[in-house]
Structures are given as C-alpha cells and as structure tokens.
Amino acid sequence: MSATPTLVALLHGPDQPGLVARVAGWIFERGGNILHADQHRDMEAGVFFQRVEWVPAKGNASADTDGFHAFAASLGMQARVTSSSHRPRMAVFVSKFDHCFHDLALRWKSGEYACDLVAVMSNHADLEATAKGYGLAYHVIPVTAATKAESEARQLALLRSLDVELVVLARYMQVLSDDFLKAFARPVINIHHSFLPAFAGGRPYHQAAERGVKLIGATAHYATAVLDDGPIIQQDVTRVTHRHGVEDLVRKGRDLEKIVLAQAVRWHLESRVLVYGNKTVVFD
C-alpha cells in the first residue's frame, strides 16, 4: 500500500546452489532493498521458484525490470517482473448470474484490487444495467454453437483493443475454445462451482446432491483447453447436510464462489501465483 513503487519478480527454473544468494545479491548491488522474498523447491522435479519484492534504488525501476529479466536468463531461469505502479487492465465475462460480478465490482470500487476494470463482456444483455450502475462499459457478444468462432473473434478483437491483461470468468456460462485461449495468450481465471476434480463439467451442484457429499466446494483456476482442468489457484468448501436440497447448495455455493474467486483474483493481481505444468505455486 506504500506510495513508493516496488518491483515483484516471479521466477522459476532448474534448481542450483546459491540461487537465493545470487538473486538477493543482484538486487542489493543495484541499491535495491528486498521487502519480501519467498521461495520453493520442488525436490522431485528439481525446480526452483521464487517471488521477490523489492524497492529499487531511485530511478532504477525501469532498468531493474529489464535487467532482472536478463539476469534471470543468465541463470537459466524464466522471470516475470511487474511494478506496483502498473495497474493491470482487467475484463470480466458474465452471463446471467450476478453474484460473482457484484462481488468483484464492489471489491474493485472499494480499492481492494490494484487494477483497472476496463470492460464487462457478456453473451447476454441481462447485466447491462448492473454494470453501468458501477460505471462499467458493457459489451454484449451473443454466442451460439453456429457463431462461436466469430463471436470469439469479436471478443478477442475487443480485448486486444482494450489491451486487457487479465480476463476473469465470473460464472460465464460458455467454454472458451483452445483457439481463443492460445490467441489471447494472457491469463484467464475461471470459477468452477465444485471442489475439482470432483464434479467437473455441467451442473456440479446437481452432481453433488446426487452423490450425497457432505461438503460442497468451489475452485478458481486458470482456464486451459481442457474443461475444468487448468491449474488450481484456490479452493474452499462448506458443509452441507441431507437437509440441503439442490437449491440450498446453489445458494450456499454462491458465497463460496465469491470468496474463492475474489481470493484468486487478488493473488493474481499481487503477482503471487506462478504456474508450472498444471499446478500453481501461490506465494501468499
């Protein structure tokens, strides 16, 4: 929350001795001061992961950003560096359910999210007034089986024209195609209303009621080509009993969905999530 811009680097690559010291040394030599540093080793895979946040020396922010990328490359590591002065541009996709959308919009308005919410896109017109009530641009792009490719092309063009860096699917009821995800090539966070991998696919609350589980869940994950199979960012559950019918699961699930999606978006915006393979390292 400080006024001084800080830099956050997320890096990972083959483990080797001395990485913590080298990264800290590089920052120190350039006059930077580390505020937070957290690292993880996947012993089996031999991969090193680190999130490091520092205050660069005066005037060094830009040079440090470029320099760190080069430095990381010299260690055989991949890095992503972001500055706290950069506010990512976020778009939210919705359909007809509004609970996750309200939740995200209110958090954004209250200053919880350091991002610019630049667009709301939907395959339906239902939430237009709601979005405009928050002062947000609302774009209706209908999607049908026949027009899906064309609709996605329009979505993509809009996202590009707005330079959107993060898409959040707030109970958006369409599956984004592999082509779309590849072409967009930036993170897309989805909320699925079950404790994945249980109850992937459609109507998870009905599936949960059918199976008689005693907890229902929600999962926020990055969208990938395989439905409901992307890297999991956050999950949570709540207790249910035989007294809860499907409608109750839906109602209780709404609160779970909001909390889980809000947390995942927050972590992403704070550069706390590092994806590798089909998993995430969350430096919380």
Which member of 235, 253, 257, 272 binds a copy of itself (CB under 8 A)? Answer: 235
Q: Is 182 exposed, middle or buried (0-12, 13-18, 19+ CB in 10 A)?
A: exposed
Which member of 195, 204, 265, 268 binds a copy of itself (CB under 8 A)? Answer: 195
Residue 14 makes contact with a copy of itself by CB under 8 A:
no
Per the DSSP assignment, residues forming a β-bridge with 41 are: 48
CB of 32 to a copy of itself, least distance (A): 9
Which member of 17, 59, 70, 185 binds a copy of itself (CB under 8 A)? Answer: 17
> Which pair of tokens denotes residue 246?
């499907």
Indicate which residues carry an active-site annotation: 228
- Site residue total, a copy of itself (CB under 8 A): 64
The whole-angstrom separation of Cα 131 and Cα 109 is 12
CB of 74 to a copy of itself, least distance (A): 17
Which member of 5, 25, 76, 202 binds a copy of itself (CB under 8 A)? Answer: 25
The whole-angstrom separation of Cα 151 and Cα 131 is 21
Interior angle at CA 44, CA 219 and CA 277, nearest 5: 40
Which member of 37, 153, 156, 173 binds a copy of itself (CB under 8 A)? Answer: 37
Window of 21-29, 86-94, 137-145, 176-184 that interacts with a copy of itself by CB under 8 A: 21-29
CB of 232 to a copy of itself, least distance (A): 5
Cβ closest to a copy of itself, residue 17 vs residue 59: 17
Task: Convert 66-105 to b/e letters by CB count within 10 Å (16 or more is b).
Answer: ebbbebbeebebebebbbbeeebbbbbbbbebbbbbbbbb
The whole-angstrom separation of Cα 269 and Cα 281 is 14
3-class DSSP state for residue 239? Answer: strand
Which member of 4, 41, 73, 125 binds a copy of itself (CB under 8 A)? Answer: 41
- Neighbouring CB atoms inside 10 A of 160's CB total 12
User: Which residues of this chain interact with a copy of itself, rule CB under 8 A?
Assistant: 1, 17-22, 24-25, 27-28, 33-44, 49, 98-99, 102, 106, 110, 112, 133, 195-199, 211-215, 217, 231-237, 241-243, 245, 247, 251, 255, 259, 262, 278-282, 284
